[in-house]
Amino acid sequence: MNAIMNGLWIARFDAGAAHGKGLAVLHGGEILGGDFAHTWVGTYRQDGASVYAKVRVAPCNGHEAPEEHPERPMTVTLTGTCTEQDVMLAGHADDSDLALSIEMHRAAGSH
């Protein structure tokens, strides 16, 4: 059951040298969110206090990455733990060794 995770979450992430914040809506096993430069679309599964997620991260339409660092969509696999107010996740991009960590705090929603 994913009910504890349903709601609006503020996410802070570290992905290699990149750091940022965004918003994510989690509802019924689906994730929709993003930051100023990327969209996040994926799924999650909760098993007690454990969380498993797979998320596609893609540049937003109109976002121009620096020429020396072209961006492309990537899929990330994450695992971690959750409470009613906080989620901690860590993982990697599926096609590279890019490590990610995400800390989320509930902004609104059922719990």
pTM of the model: 0.86
Closest CA to 25 of 37, 43, 13: 43
Is the pLDDT at 70 greater than 60? The verdict is: no
Residue 51 C-alpha from the chain's centroid:
12
Q: For 81-94, what is each residue's pLDDT tens digit?
A: 999 999 999 999 99
State pLDDT tens for residues 3-35: 789 999 999 999 988 899 999 999 999 999 999
Question: Domains (ranges, CATH) in the chain?
Answer: 3-108 (2.40.128.380)
103 or 70: which carries more pLDDT confidence? 103
